[in-house]
Structure 1
Amino acid sequence: MSLLGRLFSSNANRFGGRDAIIYKDQRLSYTDLDVRVRAMRAELSRYGFSRGEILPILATRCVDYVAVVLACSAMEIAYVPIDPVNPDDRISAMVDMLGCSHILSLGEARIPQLPAIAVLILDDNGSLLAVNATERRSVTQSAGGGLDLAIMFTSGTTGTPKGVRITHEGVNNLVASVGTWLPEGGGRFVHHSSIGFDAALFELWVPLLTGGSVVLNASPFDADTLTEVVSRSGCDTLLLTTSLFHLVVAHRPEMLHAVGTLFVGGETMKPAHAARALELHPALTLINGYGPTENTVFSTLHVVRPDDLASGAPLPIGRPLGHVIARVMGDDLTELPSGHAGELWLGGRNLSPGYLDPEKSREAFVQHNGSRFYRTGDIVLQDERGLLHYQGRADAQVKVKGYRVEIDEIERLLTTMAAVAQCAVLASSMNDIETRLICFIVVDQGHAAPDITTIQSFLSRSLPHYMIPSQVEIVPTLPFTVNGKLDRRSLLAGLTAGSPSILTSQSPDPLAARVMTTFGDILGRGRLSPDDSIYALGGSSLSVVVAQAMLDAAFEIRSDLKRLMLLHTVGQWIDFYRLAIRDAQKPTKSGMS
């Protein structure tokens, strides 16, 4: 049995009656979960899966998913978590890269239309069965670096996602390193991240290997639902992406009322939001984390304290975890002294064996002075206290909605369109919380300029939603600097933002004007029309929460977030608030005989 398999089995014996999983109205103790895991191991073996194979899993957060993950871990089968929101073309590309001919669909995940791939499900009796006639063939993991725990896909520069290999040792070291901040008994976590996001490794493995419990949030993201789940479940340890943290502090601070330890990572934490969180919740331990998937979720951590916030300067990303090595390297591949900015190289126990693609691994994972390192592409400097400070990127990689995005992957796909002669995709701040992608296109001679709908439809067949640009600008040429590099500043400066919306008391429809102005501000646009799609223009569930807070305050009502999440156009929001205000103004009926 594997390292993590033995650790979980030991916990099942040690904490038998303690809650391990809470899902909707189900509560599974460690003993109950261990029974499910053992049954799943037997079923995987019966179906022909064995040590060293790979199992792609398309799933929502559910008990069966947790049981399969733990069974795979014990059997040393590498599990590959894939979010069902990915389009079928991208799912197919991932499975092809794995060399697999099968995928397991669990929970409320849709059944993908993949005729060349055997799609497996679990029936009501817990037995595996295929929903199509495609034959499954076994595939073994790469021998280099030992057997993997999991393979996580991230955005890739060559137009296809990169499969990052995650080790048992890396996750075990992550768990051991964060244990000092966990409450006695392991804590109660909420697993709300996408299963394909490396944060899910943290949300599952940290509690289950420390005797804690995991509350599975069954719903798609919704700030009100997540707030309710965190509060109702007694969650005391939570991980939020930085964008979500900023949103929670600004609009749902009550979510953190009972949280004792909050880990935040993925982007740069804003000092003002950190200060507000600690002001509202003085007992909160707020931890600013940093780390690429290639080094197993977190590589450095820093507990944010009041003296970090006094100057308003950017917050440090902290010191390396135990048994993690961090080096700040110069262009000449020598280590830099404190106070000098350079590329961060990471090594040690958390380090991935590499990507599925050996060539990509050779580019990013290097040997130096007898040790192996991952070149992050992140520029940092180390201060005199030994704290690392993030300075920016050395390449075109960006974070959008908390996800890592390689701009090159989007650009390579765009250039396959017949109408596109050249293109550039840039990330730009949309508001205080979100980043949007803007696509600049030089149209090929003899073709009509493609509109935003055509481009989004084309890209959505192969890319997840967070990699779809929300704005398209047609330009005659792409500008370059004197050094021959793309002049990003000139492109962004030339954006056709349109004239700003003006809200006045003389507006023919003040309510409509207020809604359109609000979304213009949130989406970083000028004047909007009722027909404009909020999501096509780069909006997200985070945007909806911000808009709700602003409009509820303006109209002095309390709206239903779940209903707002179903609206797509600005006009639908106008109609919603018009009706909500009318209902709120109706006199209450009383004294009827």
Structure 2
Amino acid sequence: LFEEQAERTPDAIAVVFEDQQLTYAQLNARANQLAHYLRKQGVGPEVLVGICMERSLEMIVGLLGILKAGGAYVPLDPAYPADRLMYMLADSGPLVLLTQHSLLQRLPLATLNIPVPALDAVDLAFDRYPSDNPNLLVVGLTSRHPAYVIYTSGSTGRSKGVIVEHRSAVNFWKVMQHSTHRNCPAHARVALNASITFDMSLKGLLQLLSGHCLFIVPQIIRADGTRFLNFLKQHQIDAFDCTPSQLELMLTIESRDEEGYYPKNILIGGEAIQLQMWEKLRSSTSINYHNMYGPTECTVDASIGLVNGAPDRPHIGRPIANTQIFILDPQGQTAPLGVIGEIHIGGVGVARGYFNRPDLTAEKFIPNPFSTEPGARIYRTGDLARWLPDGNIEFLGRIDRQVKIRGFRIELGEIEAALAALPEVREVVVLAREDTLGDKRLVAYLVMQAGHDLPEPAELRSKLARSLPEHMLPAHFISLEQLPLTPNGKIDHKALPAPDTTRNEVGYVAPRNIAEETLAQIWAEVLKLDKVGIHDNFFELGGHSLLATQLISRLRAAFQIELPLLVLFEATTVAELAQVIEIEQHLRTPPGIMEGKREEGEL
């Protein structure tokens, strides 16, 4: 399909990253050269190829090259801890691992007995390989072969790879053509926002099949609401995907400007939309907001609902084409209208299963009792929902303990397993608490071994960060003498205490000047605390990357200064950040003003 599009519009711009771009003809040729190289290495149908790359044109070339060779790509985030990357590589067993020169030192090359070409290395000489399209008949690729394997969080402490076939991805692309992107121009500008390790990225990547121009959002811009909005405006983006958390950040800054730029379509997914945001979006007359629901196991999304003009109750829309959604009671019978049940999904979007996990595949992908098609299956999502009278579906949360925070799907059991592996921990429970509306945080409850006290939060996070990504690190750690139990002996989650967000006087140091006082007030408001001391650590108080972007935005307004997000990860206390701001202001203030006296003139 991409090759057909490249033949139709060879000179149209296909992909843009910063000041670089490729036409459809150039992208197709470079992907073909990589595909021929991969074919020489033995890549073909049912063969996995890892891709561990930062956002770049080479990343897109890599994805297309793998698919053209007949293989399935396994995306790996370079920011993941080494242990997590090692596990995914060992579990998937890719024949080749594509990467970039700057990442070679981060990868466990000594343990990998496979080719690890850096696509941006000048000495690989891919130019010596043909630039024509590989012969699909020779490759033997069909729609039933896997296109990618994406790893998701696992309840047993290890993530699991979901195998998705070409036919499923193509069906989702066709659905978007006739729904979310129906009113886009012929050569629309589409932003690639989500990471390729997250299946939401397909919402952008698949637009190359439609001849649209894909603008890759730089990582540093994704995490900053103001810069993201400026990026959308600068490139006049017609459509992009985001999570509700990311959208909320943009809405709180300013979603409109004096020049009247609006994206035509915003595709929302990854977590539930809160009622307050739903009310904002449904009254919009300028932007089409699409609420999209679906697990990775069902190819990105299984239902879509237009929020504009919708009723006042949030919903996830209706099943997409060639997809069936069944809401079943505990006995496996269809739940009546308005009655809560578990979502089961059938149709062409259902994944093949979990890589090398036949037991778990059989447990979650079960025979479809409502279909006469041989071998038809439905996927048990573990999500609760009910049918509304208008035919839409209301999402009501999880049956099990899988949660979504800031768009990331997290198995709480995986965090518990990492904490339980620490020798000083005897028992542990992790919850996702939302004690303040819209502010969901991970809280770990620990019972320590005899003779051990609860370590400092920074020490625990440091240990967890060796195997867990940042979004899976708890915001709070609470020590208990024992876990509360229900009368039948199970852990009583409702009896677990909320974290204390009030700041006691022990170790508290008050601000010493106006700058520290302003910073402490902003920190307290963003973190929803009563007060913050100058030596308190932002991340130990419950801060995370999304709150960090809000903080940077508030600092910009308060101090009239541009600070990169990275600063907050280096200057993590009020005192340290105040010093950084003082230096920045000193460097940017003209010498004449510095030498004068305040009372002798006006600014």
Q: Which residue of 1 aligns with 2:483?
A: 478
Amino acid at match of 1:393: R
Q: Which residue of 2 aligns with 1:321?
A: 320
Q: Of residues 570, 575, 591 in structure 2, which corresponds to 1:571?
A: 575
Rate the CA distance shift 1:108–1:225 in 2: closer, same or farther, 3 A: farther
TM-score by length of structure 1 reads 0.87
Contact 1:153–1:164 (Cα < 8 Å) also in 2: yes
Query: How far does residue 167 in structure 1 lie from its aligned partner after superposition?
Result: 1.3
Q: Which residue of 2 aligns with 1:159?
A: 157
Amino acid at match of 2:65: A
Q: Of residues 111, 115, 122 in structure 2, which corresponds to 1:116?
A: 111
Amino acid at match of 1:375: R
Query: How far does residue 522 in structure 1 lie from its aligned partner after superposition?
Result: 2.5
Deviations 1:366-408 (A, max 9, x none): 1131431111111000011110001111011111221000001
Task: Give the match's secondary structure for 2:227.
Answer: helix
Q: Which residue of 1 aligns with 2:92?
A: 98
Task: Give the match's secondary structure for 1:426.
Answer: strand
Please give the residue correspondences for 1:74-473 in structure 2 after superposition, counting only pairs within 5 Å: 74-100=68-94, 102-106=96-100, 109=103, 111-114=105-108, 115-117=110-112, 118=114, 119-122=116-119, 123-127=121-125, 146-180=144-178, 181-182=180-181, 183-185=184-186, 187-205=188-206, 207-220=207-220, 221-223=222-224, 224-254=226-256, 257-277=261-281, 282-309=285-312, 313=313, 315-356=314-355, 357-369=357-369, 370=371, 371-429=376-434, 434-473=439-478
Query: How far does residue 415 in structure 1 lie from its aligned partner after superposition?
Result: 1.2
Query: How far does residue 26 in structure 1 lie from its aligned partner after superposition?
Result: 2.1
Contact 2:144–2:166 (Cα < 8 Å) also in 1: no
Segment of structure 1 superposing worse, 58-67 or 511-520 = 511-520
In structure 1, how many angstroms separate the alpha carbons of the residues matched to 2:160 and 2:96? 19
Contact 1:95–1:102 (Cα < 8 Å) also in 2: no
Amino acid at match of 1:353: R
In structure 1, how many angstroms separate the alpha carbons of the residues matched to 2:143 and 2:368? 17
Q: Of residues 28, 39, 42 in structure 1, which corresponds to 2:36?
A: 42
Contact 1:419–1:444 (Cα < 8 Å) also in 2: yes
Rate the CA distance shift 1:254–1:474 in 2: closer, same or farther, 3 A: same
Amino acid at match of 2:238: D
Rate the CA distance shift 1:418–1:167 in 2: closer, same or farther, 3 A: same
Amino acid at match of 1:168: H
Contact 2:46–2:71 (Cα < 8 Å) also in 1: yes
Query: How far does residue 490 in structure 1 lie from its aligned partner after superposition?
Result: 2.1
In structure 1, how many angstroms separate the alpha carbons of the residues matched to 2:549 and 2:218? 19
In structure 2, how many angstroms separate the alpha carbons of the residues matched to 1:145 and 1:360? 24
In structure 2, how many angstroms separate the alpha carbons of the residues matched to 1:165 and 1:341? 29
Please give the residue correspondences for 1:480-559 in structure 2 after superposition, counting only pairs within 5 Å: 480-493=485-498, 495-499=499-503, 509=513, 511-553=515-557, 555=558, 557-559=559-561
Segment of structure 1 superposing worse, 382-391 or 456-465 = 456-465
Query: How far does residue 363 in structure 1 lie from its aligned partner after superposition?
Result: 1.6
Contact 1:246–1:433 (Cα < 8 Å) also in 2: no
Aligned residue pair count? 558
Amino acid at match of 1:232: Q
Query: How far does residue 271 in structure 1 lie from its aligned partner after superposition?
Result: 3.7
Identity of aligned residues (%): 25
Amino acid at match of 1:323: N
Query: How far does residue 500 in structure 1 lie from its aligned partner after superposition?
Result: 7.2
In structure 2, how many angstroms separate the alpha carbons of the residues matched to 1:167 and 1:422? 40
In structure 2, how many angstroms separate the alpha carbons of the residues matched to 1:264 and 1:586? 48
Task: Give the match's secondary structure for 2:379.
Answer: strand
Rate the CA distance shift 1:490–1:574 in 2: closer, same or farther, 3 A: farther
In structure 2, how many angstroms separate the alpha carbons of the residues matched to 1:111 and 1:214? 30
Q: Which residue of 1 aligns with 2:136?
A: none
Contact 2:271–2:406 (Cα < 8 Å) also in 1: no
Deviations 1:52-98 (A, max 9, x none): 21111101121222112112212220100111110111001001111
Root mean square deviation of aligned Cα: 2.9
Contact 1:251–1:545 (Cα < 8 Å) also in 2: no
Query: How far does residue 48 in structure 1 lie from its aligned partner after superposition?
Result: 3.5
Q: Which residue of 2 aligns with 1:140?
A: none
Query: How far does residue 20 in structure 1 lie from its aligned partner after superposition?
Result: 0.7
In structure 2, how many angstroms separate the alpha carbons of the residues matched to 1:538 and 1:104? 36
Amino acid at match of 1:572: E
In structure 2, how many angstroms separate the alpha carbons of the residues matched to 1:252 and 1:95? 42
Query: How far does residue 110 in structure 1 lie from its aligned partner after superposition?
Result: 5.3
Query: How far does residue 186 in structure 1 lie from its aligned partner after superposition?
Result: 5.3
In structure 1, how many angstroms separate the alpha carbons of the residues matched to 2:255 and 2:103? 31
Deviations 1:267-290 (A, max 9, x none): 1213433444566x6321111111
1:54 and 2:53 matched = no
Task: Give the match's secondary structure for 1:246.
Answer: helix
Rate the CA distance shift 1:330–1:203 in 2: closer, same or farther, 3 A: same
Query: How far does residue 103 in structure 1 lie from its aligned partner after superposition?
Result: 2.4
Amino acid at match of 2:476: Q
Query: How far does residue 105 in structure 1 lie from its aligned partner after superposition?
Result: 1.3
Segment of structure 1 superposing worse, 26-35 or 213-222 = 213-222
Query: How far does residue 21 in structure 1 lie from its aligned partner after superposition?
Result: 0.8
Amino acid at match of 2:347: G
TM-score by length of structure 2 reads 0.86
Q: Which residue of 1 aligns with 2:134?
A: none
Amino acid at match of 1:29: T
Contact 1:531–1:570 (Cα < 8 Å) also in 2: yes
Rate the CA distance shift 1:127–1:226 in 2: closer, same or farther, 3 A: farther
In structure 2, how many angstroms separate the alpha carbons of the residues matched to 1:443 and 1:144? 54
Segment of structure 1 superposing worse, 39-48 or 234-243 = 39-48
In structure 1, how many angstroms separate the alpha carbons of the residues matched to 2:532 and 2:287? 40
Contact 1:500–1:526 (Cα < 8 Å) also in 2: no
Q: Which residue of 2 aligns with 1:69?
A: 63
In structure 2, how many angstroms separate the alpha carbons of the residues matched to 1:514 and 1:500? 20
In structure 2, how many angstroms separate the alpha carbons of the residues matched to 1:408 and 1:187? 42
In structure 2, how many angstroms separate the alpha carbons of the residues matched to 1:434 and 1:22? 34
Q: Which residue of 2 aligns with 1:135?
A: none
Rate the CA distance shift 1:264–1:184 in 2: closer, same or farther, 3 A: same
Give unpaired runs (5+ residues) of structure 1.
1-6, 129-142
In structure 2, how many angstroms separate the alpha carbons of the residues matched to 1:522 and 1:432? 13
Segment of structure 1 superposing worse, 375-384 or 576-585 = 576-585
Query: How far does residue 552 in structure 1 lie from its aligned partner after superposition?
Result: 5.0
Contact 1:529–1:570 (Cα < 8 Å) also in 2: yes
Amino acid at match of 1:543: L
Query: How far does residue 519 in structure 1 lie from its aligned partner after superposition?
Result: 1.9
Segment of structure 1 superposing worse, 518-527 or 389-398 = 518-527
Deviations 1:523-553 (A, max 9, x none): 3445433233223444233212322444555
In structure 2, how many angstroms separate the alpha carbons of the residues matched to 1:507 and 1:25? 43
Deviations 1:339-366 (A, max 9, x none): 1110000111111011111111112111
Q: Which residue of 2 aligns with 1:29?
A: 23
Task: Give the match's secondary structure for 1:492.
Answer: coil
Rate the CA distance shift 1:549–1:41 in 2: closer, same or farther, 3 A: closer
